[in-house]
Amino acid sequence: MSTHQTFSAGEKPLSVLDVLGAKNRRKLAMVTAYDASSARIVDRAGVDMVLVGDSLGMVMLGREDTVSVTLDEMIHHSRAVMRGARRALVVADMPFMTYETGVEAALLNAGRLVRESGVRAVKLEGAFLPQIRALTEAGIPVMGHIGLTPQRAARLGGFKVQGRKAGAAAILLDEATALEEAGCFSIVLEAIPAPLAEAITARVSIPTIGIGAGAACDGQVLVLHDMLGLYDGLAPRFVKRYAELGAQMEQAVRDYAEEVRGGTFPTPAHSFGMDEEERARLEARLREA
Domains of the chain (ranges, CATH numbers): 16-243 (3.20.20.60), 249-288 (no CATH)
Handedness of CA 68, 122, 71, 240 (dihedral sign): positive
Categorize the per-residue pLDDT at 153 as very low, low, confident or very high, splitting at 50, 70 and 90: confident
Q: Is the pLDDT of residue 184 over 50?
A: yes
pLDDT tens figures, 51-107: 999 999 999 999 999 999 999 999 999 999 999 999 999 999 999 999 999 999 999
Binding residues for 3-methyl-2-oxobutanoate: 54-55, 93, 123
Give mean pLDDT, residues 126-150: 97
- Phi, psi (rounded to 5 degrees) for 21: -70, -15
Binding residues: 54-55, 93, 123, 125
Question: Among 175, 180, 190, 198, which one carries the catalytic annotation?
Answer: 190
Beta strands in 148-258, from DSSP E residues, in sequence order:
186-190, 208-211, 219-222
Give residue 159's pLDDT.
75
pTM exceeding the 0.75 threshold for the entire prediction: yes
Q: Is the pLDDT of residue 225 over 80?
A: yes
Please say if 190 is a catalytic residue: yes
Give residue 233's pLDDT.
73
Categorize the per-residue pLDDT at 26 as very low, low, confident or very high, splitting at 50, 70 and 90: very high
Give residue 10's pLDDT.
54
Q: Is the pLDDT of residue 165 over 80?
A: yes
b/e string for 33-49 if b means 16 or more Cβ within 10 A?
Answer: bbbbebbbebbbeebbb
- Residue percentage of the chain with pLDDT more than 70: 95
Q: Which is more confidently placed, 231 or 117?
A: 117
Distances (CA, A) of 5 to 12, 22, 83, 143, 216: 15, 16, 22, 25, 22
Mean model confidence pLDDT for the chain: 94
Binding residues for Mg(2+): 54, 93, 125
Q: Is the pLDDT of residue 22 over 90?
A: yes
Distances (CA, A) of 188 to 82, 184, 264: 21, 10, 51
Give residue 5's pLDDT.
46
- How many angstroms from the chain centroid is the CA of residue 36? 12
pLDDT tens figures, 32-51: 999 999 999 999 999 999 99
Write the CB contacts of 64 (distance below 8 Å, at least 6 apart in sequence): 58
Give residue 237's pLDDT.
85
